[in-house]
Protein backbone atom coordinates (compact mmCIF):
# COMPACT_ATOMS: atom_id res chain seq x y z
CA UNK A 1 0.00 0.00 0.00
CA UNK A 2 1.44 3.39 -0.98
CA UNK A 3 1.79 5.94 1.85
CA UNK A 4 -0.60 8.86 2.29
CA UNK A 5 1.55 11.99 2.20
CA UNK A 6 0.96 15.71 2.84
CA UNK A 7 0.73 18.35 0.08
CA UNK A 8 4.46 19.10 0.26
CA UNK A 9 6.92 16.25 0.63
CA UNK A 10 10.19 14.89 -0.68
CA UNK A 11 11.52 11.42 -0.03
CA UNK A 12 15.12 11.47 1.16
CA UNK A 13 17.73 8.71 1.34
CA UNK A 14 17.17 6.64 4.49
CA UNK A 15 19.77 7.04 7.21
CA UNK A 16 19.75 4.64 10.15
CA UNK A 17 21.25 7.34 12.35
CA UNK A 18 19.19 10.52 12.31
CA UNK A 19 22.19 12.59 13.32
CA UNK A 20 22.97 12.63 9.59
CA UNK A 21 20.00 14.93 8.90
CA UNK A 22 19.67 16.68 12.25
CA UNK A 23 23.20 18.04 12.08
CA UNK A 24 22.24 19.83 8.85
CA UNK A 25 19.44 21.78 10.54
CA UNK A 26 20.50 22.16 14.16
CA UNK A 27 22.08 25.59 13.53
CA UNK A 28 18.60 26.93 12.72
CA UNK A 29 16.43 28.46 15.50
CA UNK A 30 14.84 26.10 18.04
CA UNK A 31 16.06 22.77 16.57
CA UNK A 32 14.38 19.66 17.95
CA UNK A 33 14.95 15.92 17.56
CA UNK A 34 12.35 13.51 18.92
CA UNK A 35 14.51 10.44 18.91
CA UNK A 36 13.48 6.78 18.99
CA UNK A 37 17.21 5.88 19.11
CA UNK A 38 16.80 3.69 16.02
CA UNK A 39 13.93 1.69 17.47
CA UNK A 40 12.08 -0.25 14.78
CA UNK A 41 9.08 -1.51 16.79
CA UNK A 42 5.56 -0.67 15.68
CA UNK A 43 4.96 1.34 18.86
CA UNK A 44 7.76 3.82 18.43
CA UNK A 45 9.71 3.59 15.21
CA UNK A 46 9.94 7.22 14.08
CA UNK A 47 12.44 10.04 14.51
CA UNK A 48 11.06 13.56 14.06
CA UNK A 49 13.37 16.50 13.30
CA UNK A 50 12.37 20.13 12.86
CA UNK A 51 13.68 23.67 13.25
CA UNK A 52 12.84 27.34 12.61
CA UNK A 53 9.26 27.54 13.99
CA UNK A 54 7.08 30.31 12.56
CA UNK A 55 5.43 30.92 15.96
CA UNK A 56 6.90 30.44 19.44
CA UNK A 57 5.23 30.52 22.85
CA UNK A 58 7.14 31.13 26.08
CA UNK A 59 5.13 30.89 29.30
CA UNK A 60 6.27 31.73 32.82
CA UNK A 61 4.27 31.76 36.04
CA UNK A 62 3.02 35.26 35.21
CA UNK A 63 2.74 35.64 31.43
CA UNK A 64 2.95 34.05 27.99
CA UNK A 65 4.83 35.70 25.12
CA UNK A 66 3.72 34.65 21.63
CA UNK A 67 6.20 35.59 18.89
CA UNK A 68 5.32 35.60 15.20
CA UNK A 69 7.59 36.47 12.31
CA UNK A 70 6.05 39.95 12.28
CA UNK A 71 5.88 40.73 16.00
CA UNK A 72 4.74 39.49 19.39
CA UNK A 73 1.89 39.61 21.86
CA UNK A 74 1.83 39.15 25.64
CA UNK A 75 -0.90 37.56 27.74
CA UNK A 76 -0.86 37.77 31.53
CA UNK A 77 -4.24 36.18 32.17
CA UNK A 78 -4.93 33.26 29.85
CA UNK A 79 -3.98 29.66 30.44
CA UNK A 80 -0.92 28.71 28.30
CA UNK A 81 -2.66 25.54 27.09
CA UNK A 82 -5.60 27.64 25.86
CA UNK A 83 -3.26 30.12 24.17
CA UNK A 84 -1.57 27.29 22.32
CA UNK A 85 -4.96 25.89 21.31
CA UNK A 86 -5.89 29.31 19.92
CA UNK A 87 -2.88 29.13 17.62
CA UNK A 88 -4.14 25.80 16.30
CA UNK A 89 -7.60 27.24 15.70
CA UNK A 90 -6.13 29.64 13.14
CA UNK A 91 -5.69 26.68 10.79
CA UNK A 92 -8.16 24.05 9.57
CA UNK A 93 -7.69 20.52 10.92
CA UNK A 94 -5.40 18.75 8.47
CA UNK A 95 -5.89 15.30 7.00
CA UNK A 96 -3.93 12.52 8.67
CA UNK A 97 -1.13 11.01 6.62
CA UNK A 98 1.01 7.89 6.93
CA UNK A 99 3.59 10.00 8.78
CA UNK A 100 3.26 10.77 12.49
CA UNK A 101 3.92 14.52 12.10
CA UNK A 102 3.90 16.92 9.14
CA UNK A 103 3.69 20.16 11.09
CA UNK A 104 2.29 21.48 14.35
CA UNK A 105 3.54 22.21 17.85
CA UNK A 106 6.68 20.71 19.34
CA UNK A 107 8.10 21.73 22.67
CA UNK A 108 8.70 21.47 26.34
CA UNK A 109 6.07 21.62 29.07
CA UNK A 110 7.81 21.93 32.45
CA UNK A 111 6.63 20.22 35.61
CA UNK A 112 6.12 23.69 37.10
CA UNK A 113 3.54 24.49 34.42
CA UNK A 114 1.29 22.62 36.81
CA UNK A 115 1.22 25.85 38.82
CA UNK A 116 -0.97 27.34 36.11
CA UNK A 117 -3.44 24.47 36.63
CA UNK A 118 -3.41 23.95 40.43
CA UNK A 119 -2.94 26.26 43.42
CA UNK A 120 0.34 25.19 45.02
CA UNK A 121 2.40 26.63 47.88
CA UNK A 122 5.66 28.50 47.22
CA UNK A 123 8.27 26.78 49.38
CA UNK A 124 10.99 25.20 47.20
CA UNK A 125 13.72 27.46 45.84
CA UNK A 126 13.49 28.23 42.12
CA UNK A 127 17.08 27.73 40.99
CA UNK A 128 15.93 26.86 37.47
CA UNK A 129 14.79 30.36 36.40
CA UNK A 130 13.47 28.94 33.15
CA UNK A 131 10.17 29.13 31.31
CA UNK A 132 7.34 26.76 32.21
CA UNK A 133 6.49 26.22 28.54
CA UNK A 134 8.62 26.60 25.42
CA UNK A 135 6.73 25.52 22.31
CA UNK A 136 7.17 26.27 18.62
CA UNK A 137 4.77 25.87 15.72
CA UNK A 138 6.79 24.10 13.02
CA UNK A 139 5.62 23.97 9.42
CA UNK A 140 7.95 21.23 8.21
CA UNK A 141 9.69 18.18 9.62
CA UNK A 142 12.10 15.45 8.59
CA UNK A 143 10.59 12.06 9.48
CA UNK A 144 12.57 8.83 9.58
CA UNK A 145 10.68 5.53 9.76
CA UNK A 146 13.10 2.88 11.03
CA UNK A 147 10.72 0.01 10.33
CA UNK A 148 10.15 0.80 6.65
CA UNK A 149 13.60 2.41 6.35
CA UNK A 150 12.20 5.55 4.76
CA UNK A 151 12.84 9.25 5.33
CA UNK A 152 10.70 12.20 4.22
CA UNK A 153 10.76 15.97 4.36
CA UNK A 154 7.08 16.76 4.92
CA UNK A 155 4.88 19.84 5.32
CA UNK A 156 1.25 20.92 5.14
CA UNK A 157 2.49 24.25 3.75
CA UNK A 158 0.56 26.40 6.23
CA UNK A 159 3.38 28.95 6.52
CA UNK A 160 3.86 30.69 3.13
CA UNK A 161 7.59 30.92 3.79
CA UNK A 162 7.88 27.12 3.63
CA UNK A 163 6.72 27.07 0.02
CA UNK A 164 9.01 29.97 -0.88
CA UNK A 165 12.06 28.36 0.75
CA UNK A 166 11.36 24.72 -0.14
CA UNK A 167 14.18 24.31 -2.66
CA UNK A 168 16.70 25.99 -0.32
CA UNK A 169 15.59 23.72 2.50
CA UNK A 170 16.10 20.66 0.33
CA UNK A 171 19.55 21.91 -0.67
CA UNK A 172 20.45 22.39 3.01
CA UNK A 173 19.26 18.91 4.00
CA UNK A 174 20.92 17.25 1.01
CA UNK A 175 24.28 18.98 1.43
CA UNK A 176 27.20 16.60 1.13
CA UNK A 177 28.80 17.96 4.29
CA UNK A 178 27.15 18.81 7.58
CA UNK A 179 27.98 21.97 9.50
CA UNK A 180 31.03 22.10 11.74
CA UNK A 181 31.24 19.33 14.34
CA UNK A 182 30.15 20.21 17.86
CA UNK A 183 32.60 21.60 20.34
CA UNK A 184 33.12 19.05 23.07
CA UNK A 185 31.19 19.56 26.27
CA UNK A 186 33.19 19.31 29.47
CA UNK A 187 32.15 19.34 33.10
CA UNK A 188 34.24 20.53 36.05
CA UNK A 189 33.97 20.73 39.80
CA UNK A 190 31.90 18.60 42.12
CA UNK A 191 28.47 17.21 41.33
CA UNK A 192 26.38 18.84 44.04
CA UNK A 193 22.97 18.01 45.51
CA UNK A 194 20.91 19.59 48.27
CA UNK A 195 19.26 16.24 49.11
CA UNK A 196 22.03 14.10 50.60
CA UNK A 197 21.37 10.85 52.50
CA UNK A 198 20.53 12.60 55.76
CA UNK A 199 18.11 15.09 54.19
CA UNK A 200 16.57 12.37 52.04
CA UNK A 201 15.92 10.33 55.20
CA UNK A 202 14.15 13.29 56.85
CA UNK A 203 11.95 13.82 53.77
CA UNK A 204 11.26 10.09 53.49
CA UNK A 205 10.12 9.90 57.11
CA UNK A 206 7.80 12.89 56.65
CA UNK A 207 6.20 11.20 53.62
CA UNK A 208 5.71 7.98 55.61
CA UNK A 209 4.03 10.04 58.33
CA UNK A 210 1.73 11.72 55.78
CA UNK A 211 0.79 8.30 54.41
CA UNK A 212 0.15 6.93 57.92
CA UNK A 213 -2.07 9.94 58.70
CA UNK A 214 -4.10 9.38 55.51
CA UNK A 215 -2.94 12.47 53.59
CA UNK A 216 -1.79 10.42 50.60
CA UNK A 217 -1.02 6.93 49.33
CA UNK A 218 2.16 7.59 47.37
CA UNK A 219 4.60 10.48 46.82
CA UNK A 220 7.37 10.65 44.24
CA UNK A 221 10.47 12.10 45.92
CA UNK A 222 13.28 13.27 43.60
CA UNK A 223 16.91 14.27 44.06
CA UNK A 224 18.51 17.02 41.96
CA UNK A 225 22.17 16.99 40.87
CA UNK A 226 24.09 19.94 39.37
CA UNK A 227 27.57 20.46 37.91
CA UNK A 228 29.40 23.21 36.00
CA UNK A 229 29.63 22.57 32.25
CA UNK A 230 30.90 24.27 29.10
CA UNK A 231 30.71 23.48 25.41
CA UNK A 232 28.11 22.13 23.02
CA UNK A 233 25.32 20.06 24.62
CA UNK A 234 24.79 18.24 21.31
CA UNK A 235 28.13 16.52 21.95
CA UNK A 236 26.84 15.32 25.33
CA UNK A 237 23.58 14.13 23.79
CA UNK A 238 25.33 12.06 21.10
CA UNK A 239 27.11 10.19 23.91
CA UNK A 240 23.93 9.86 25.95
CA UNK A 241 21.92 8.28 23.14
CA UNK A 242 24.69 5.74 22.56
CA UNK A 243 25.01 4.75 26.21
CA UNK A 244 21.41 4.97 27.44
CA UNK A 245 19.23 4.45 24.37
CA UNK A 246 15.55 4.94 25.18
CA UNK A 247 12.41 5.03 23.00
CA UNK A 248 11.23 8.55 24.00
CA UNK A 249 14.53 10.41 23.82
CA UNK A 250 14.73 14.05 22.76
CA UNK A 251 17.11 16.93 22.09
CA UNK A 252 15.60 20.42 22.12
CA UNK A 253 17.62 23.62 22.02
CA UNK A 254 16.35 27.17 22.57
CA UNK A 255 18.21 30.36 23.55
CA UNK A 256 17.02 29.77 27.12
CA UNK A 257 17.87 26.11 27.72
CA UNK A 258 18.71 22.82 26.08
CA UNK A 259 17.01 19.53 26.98
CA UNK A 260 18.88 16.23 26.59
CA UNK A 261 16.49 13.40 27.38
CA UNK A 262 16.81 9.62 27.31
CA UNK A 263 13.31 9.01 28.64
CA UNK A 264 11.84 5.50 28.62
CA UNK A 265 8.33 6.72 29.45
CA UNK A 266 5.41 7.82 27.32
CA UNK A 267 3.04 10.32 28.91
CA UNK A 268 0.19 10.48 26.38
CA UNK A 269 -0.40 9.47 22.77
CA UNK A 270 -3.37 10.45 20.62
CA UNK A 271 -3.96 8.89 17.20
CA UNK A 272 -7.28 9.35 15.45
CA UNK A 273 -8.73 10.35 18.86
CA UNK A 274 -7.63 7.08 20.49
CA UNK A 275 -5.68 7.80 23.68
CA UNK A 276 -2.87 5.79 25.23
CA UNK A 277 -0.75 6.37 28.34
CA UNK A 278 2.01 4.08 29.68
CA UNK A 279 2.99 4.88 33.28
CA UNK A 280 6.14 3.36 34.76
CA UNK A 281 6.15 2.28 38.40
CA UNK A 282 8.50 -0.39 39.68
CA UNK A 283 12.26 -0.51 39.07
CA UNK A 284 15.20 -2.88 39.44
CA UNK A 285 18.75 -2.20 38.33
CA UNK A 286 20.18 -4.34 35.56
CA UNK A 287 23.26 -6.56 35.87
CA UNK A 288 24.53 -6.83 32.32
CA UNK A 289 27.70 -8.58 33.47
CA UNK A 290 25.69 -11.59 34.66
CA UNK A 291 22.72 -12.64 32.52
CA UNK A 292 21.37 -15.03 35.18
CA UNK A 293 21.47 -12.33 37.83
CA UNK A 294 19.90 -9.83 35.41
CA UNK A 295 17.02 -12.25 34.73
CA UNK A 296 16.60 -12.89 38.45
CA UNK A 297 16.24 -9.15 39.08
CA UNK A 298 13.64 -8.92 36.31
CA UNK A 299 11.72 -11.88 37.74
CA UNK A 300 11.85 -10.37 41.21
CA UNK A 301 10.30 -7.14 39.90
CA UNK A 302 7.58 -9.01 38.00
CA UNK A 303 6.57 -10.89 41.16
CA UNK A 304 6.81 -7.95 43.57
CA UNK A 305 3.46 -7.32 45.28
CA UNK A 306 4.71 -3.94 46.51
CA UNK A 307 5.71 -2.74 43.02
CA UNK A 308 2.46 -3.96 41.48
CA UNK A 309 0.47 -2.15 44.18
CA UNK A 310 2.49 1.02 43.58
CA UNK A 311 1.86 0.73 39.84
CA UNK A 312 -1.86 0.12 40.39
CA UNK A 313 -2.20 3.34 42.41
CA UNK A 314 -0.92 5.33 39.43
CA UNK A 315 -3.07 3.36 36.98
CA UNK A 316 -6.14 4.33 39.01
CA UNK A 317 -5.00 7.97 39.13
CA UNK A 318 -4.53 8.07 35.35
CA UNK A 319 -7.85 6.39 34.70
CA UNK A 320 -9.39 9.22 36.71
CA UNK A 321 -7.44 11.87 34.73
CA UNK A 322 -8.45 10.32 31.41
CA UNK A 323 -12.04 10.20 32.61
CA UNK A 324 -12.15 14.01 32.55
CA UNK A 325 -11.82 14.13 28.74
CA UNK A 326 -12.56 10.63 27.40
CA UNK A 327 -15.87 9.06 26.44
CA UNK A 328 -17.55 7.29 29.36
CA UNK A 329 -16.86 3.57 29.30
CA UNK A 330 -13.96 3.87 26.83
CA UNK A 331 -11.11 3.65 29.37
CA UNK A 332 -9.41 0.23 29.50
CA UNK A 333 -6.22 -1.26 30.93
CA UNK A 334 -5.30 -3.83 28.25
CA UNK A 335 -1.74 -4.42 29.47
CA UNK A 336 -1.10 -4.04 33.22
CA UNK A 337 2.29 -4.57 34.91
CA UNK A 338 4.29 -5.51 31.80
CA UNK A 339 8.03 -5.95 32.28
CA UNK A 340 10.13 -3.73 30.03
CA UNK A 341 13.94 -3.68 30.11
CA UNK A 342 16.09 -0.66 29.27
CA UNK A 343 19.80 0.09 29.17
CA UNK A 344 20.36 0.25 32.93
CA UNK A 345 17.07 -0.74 34.61
CA UNK A 346 14.03 -3.01 34.40
CA UNK A 347 10.60 -1.36 34.79
CA UNK A 348 6.96 -2.34 35.29
CA UNK A 349 4.88 -0.53 32.66
CA UNK A 350 1.08 -0.50 32.39
CA UNK A 351 -0.90 0.54 29.30
CA UNK A 352 -4.17 2.48 29.66
CA UNK A 353 -6.34 3.44 26.68
CA UNK A 354 -9.42 5.56 26.03
CA UNK A 355 -11.20 7.58 23.35
CA UNK A 356 -11.44 11.37 23.37
CA UNK A 357 -14.90 12.78 23.97
CA UNK A 358 -16.41 14.85 21.16
CA UNK A 359 -15.57 18.34 22.48
CA UNK A 360 -12.05 17.44 23.63
CA UNK A 361 -8.68 17.55 21.86
CA UNK A 362 -5.06 16.62 22.41
CA UNK A 363 -4.27 19.79 24.37
CA UNK A 364 -7.26 19.50 26.69
CA UNK A 365 -6.14 15.90 27.32
CA UNK A 366 -2.58 17.01 28.07
CA UNK A 367 -3.85 19.65 30.49
CA UNK A 368 -6.20 17.20 32.23
CA UNK A 369 -3.34 14.76 32.88
CA UNK A 370 -0.56 17.24 33.59
CA UNK A 371 1.85 16.66 35.20
CA UNK A 372 1.93 12.89 34.87
CA UNK A 373 0.70 10.84 37.82
CA UNK A 374 3.67 8.46 37.81
CA UNK A 375 6.00 11.30 38.82
CA UNK A 376 3.75 12.99 41.39
CA UNK A 377 1.87 10.43 43.47
CA UNK A 378 -1.66 9.84 44.66
CA UNK A 379 -3.81 11.76 45.17
CA UNK A 380 -2.03 14.04 42.72
CA UNK A 381 -2.67 17.49 44.20
CA UNK A 382 -1.71 16.48 47.74
CA UNK A 383 1.38 14.71 46.43
CA UNK A 384 2.42 17.86 44.55
CA UNK A 385 1.99 19.92 47.72
CA UNK A 386 4.23 17.50 49.62
CA UNK A 387 6.82 17.54 46.81
CA UNK A 388 6.91 21.34 47.02
CA UNK A 389 7.43 21.10 50.79
CA UNK A 390 10.13 18.43 50.84
CA UNK A 391 12.23 18.83 47.68
CA UNK A 392 14.62 21.74 48.34
CA UNK A 393 14.55 23.04 44.75
CA UNK A 394 11.94 23.35 42.02
CA UNK A 395 11.87 20.67 39.35
CA UNK A 396 11.67 22.95 36.33
CA UNK A 397 11.74 20.79 33.21
CA UNK A 398 12.21 17.51 35.11
CA UNK A 399 9.04 15.39 35.14
CA UNK A 400 7.43 17.70 32.62
CA UNK A 401 7.08 16.58 29.00
CA UNK A 402 8.46 16.90 25.51
CA UNK A 403 5.56 16.60 23.10
CA UNK A 404 4.38 17.07 19.56
CA UNK A 405 0.80 18.00 18.67
CA UNK A 406 0.15 17.82 14.94
CA UNK A 407 -2.08 20.02 12.80
CA UNK A 408 -3.95 16.73 12.23
CA UNK A 409 -4.92 16.49 15.91
CA UNK A 410 -2.54 13.65 16.80
CA UNK A 411 -0.06 13.85 19.68
CA UNK A 412 2.74 11.94 21.34
CA UNK A 413 4.62 12.94 24.47
CA UNK A 414 7.15 11.66 26.95
CA UNK A 415 7.80 12.28 30.62
CA UNK A 416 11.09 14.08 31.08
CA UNK A 417 12.87 11.57 33.30
CA UNK A 418 16.46 10.39 32.69
CA UNK A 419 16.95 13.93 31.44
CA UNK A 420 19.67 16.57 31.55
CA UNK A 421 18.94 20.30 31.35
CA UNK A 422 21.68 22.72 30.28
CA UNK A 423 21.75 26.48 30.70
CA UNK A 424 23.84 29.17 32.41
CA UNK A 425 26.89 26.87 32.23
CA UNK A 426 25.21 24.23 34.39
CA UNK A 427 24.12 20.67 33.64
CA UNK A 428 21.36 19.44 35.91
CA UNK A 429 19.67 16.07 36.32
CA UNK A 430 17.20 14.47 38.68
CA UNK A 431 16.11 11.01 39.73
CA UNK A 432 13.24 9.95 41.95
CA UNK A 433 10.96 7.17 43.04
CA UNK A 434 7.53 6.59 44.49
CA UNK A 435 7.30 6.14 48.27
CA UNK A 436 4.42 4.08 49.67
CA UNK A 437 3.47 2.73 53.08
CA UNK A 438 5.83 -0.27 53.01
CA UNK A 439 8.78 1.45 51.30
CA UNK A 440 12.24 0.95 52.79
CA UNK A 441 14.34 4.09 53.04
CA UNK A 442 17.70 2.56 52.07
CA UNK A 443 16.12 0.73 49.13
CA UNK A 444 14.41 3.87 47.85
CA UNK A 445 17.60 5.93 48.14
CA UNK A 446 19.49 3.25 46.21
CA UNK A 447 16.77 3.20 43.53
CA UNK A 448 17.24 6.94 43.00
CA UNK A 449 20.93 6.38 42.32
CA UNK A 450 20.24 3.35 40.10
CA UNK A 451 18.00 5.55 37.95
CA UNK A 452 20.59 8.34 37.86
CA UNK A 453 23.51 5.98 37.15
CA UNK A 454 23.63 6.38 33.37
CA UNK A 455 23.49 10.19 33.54
CA UNK A 456 26.04 10.42 36.35
CA UNK A 457 28.33 8.11 34.37
CA UNK A 458 28.00 10.44 31.38
CA UNK A 459 29.01 13.42 33.53
CA UNK A 460 32.17 11.62 34.62
CA UNK A 461 32.95 10.78 30.99
CA UNK A 462 32.70 14.49 30.11
CA UNK A 463 35.46 15.50 32.55
Contacts of 280 (CB under 8 A, 6+ apart): 264, 265, 340, 347, 348, 349, 374
Catalytic residue among 281, 310, 380, 393: 281
309 phi, psi to nearest 5 deg: -65, -40
Cα 433-205-346 angle, rounded to 5 deg? 20
Catalytic residue among 23, 128, 226, 265: 265
Cα 337-412-408 angle, rounded to 5 deg? 140
Residue 206: active-site member: no
d(CA 338, CA 331) in angstroms, rounded, equals: 18
d(CA 286, CA 300) in angstroms, rounded, equals: 12
Residue 451: active-site member: no
Residue pair 323/278 in contact by the 8 Å Cβ criterion: no
Contacts of 348 (CB under 8 A, 6+ apart): 280, 281, 282, 283, 301, 302, 307, 308, 311, 337, 338, 339, 340
- Nearest residue to 18 via CA among 3, 32, 28: 32
Start-to-end CA distance of the chain, whole Å, equals 51
Active site positions, annotated: 265, 281
Amino acid sequence: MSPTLPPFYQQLPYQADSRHYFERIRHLPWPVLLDSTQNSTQDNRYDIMAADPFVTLRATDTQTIIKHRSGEQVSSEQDPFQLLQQQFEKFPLQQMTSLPFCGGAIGHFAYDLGRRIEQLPNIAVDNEHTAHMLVGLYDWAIITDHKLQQTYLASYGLDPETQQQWSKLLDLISASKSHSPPAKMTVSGIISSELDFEHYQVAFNKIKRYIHEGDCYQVNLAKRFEVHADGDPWHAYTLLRQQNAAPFSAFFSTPELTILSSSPERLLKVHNRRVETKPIKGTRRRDLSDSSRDQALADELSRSIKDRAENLMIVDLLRNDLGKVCEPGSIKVPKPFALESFATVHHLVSTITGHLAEQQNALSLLRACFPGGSITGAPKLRAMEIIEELEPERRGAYCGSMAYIGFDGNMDSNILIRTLVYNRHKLRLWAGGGIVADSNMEDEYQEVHDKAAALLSLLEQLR
